[in-house]
Amino acid sequence: MKAENKTEVTSDQKHEETSPHDKPSSCLLCGQAGPTLLYGHWVCDYCKNVVQAEALAKRRKIDKEGGGPSS
């Protein structure tokens, strides 16, 4: 019986150690390690800037071709 109690304690300890609150998160795009977050999902500043620049370039291309909304 003592051996069973020890395995239960160790499994509880492992669960506490690997809780999502303590695990560092990573960038969704490049995988860079980041701050500890509740859900573990975030985008680093570099990737955020790259995505915004690509979106802006695409928008300008569409507007230049005349395919954008008329204002």
- Structural domains in the chain (count): 1
Q: Would residue 3 count as lying in a domain?
A: no
- What is the reported pLDDT for 18? 55
Task: Give a yes or no: residue 7 inside a domain.
Answer: no
Please report, for residues 42, 50, 53, 56, the alpha-carbon distance to residue 62 in angstroms, rounded to integers and kept in the order given: 29, 18, 14, 10
Name the residue range of residue 51's domain: 16-65
Domain for residue 28, yes or no? yes
- Per-residue pLDDT of the chain (71 residues), as tens digits, is 555 555 555 555 554 555 555 678 888 999 998 888 877 778 999 999 999 999 999 999 999 988 766 65
Residue 55 lies in a domain: yes
Residue 48: per-residue pLDDT: 95
Q: Is the pTM of this model over 0.75?
A: no
Q: In sequence order, which ranges of the chain are alpha helices (DSSP H)? A: 2-17, 45-65
User: Is residue 24 in a domain?
Assistant: yes
The predicted structure's pLDDT at residue 4: 54
Q: Does 56 reside within a domain?
A: yes
Asked whether residue 27 is assigned to any structural domain, the reply reads yes
Strand order in the sheet with 24-27: 33-36, 24-27, 41-42
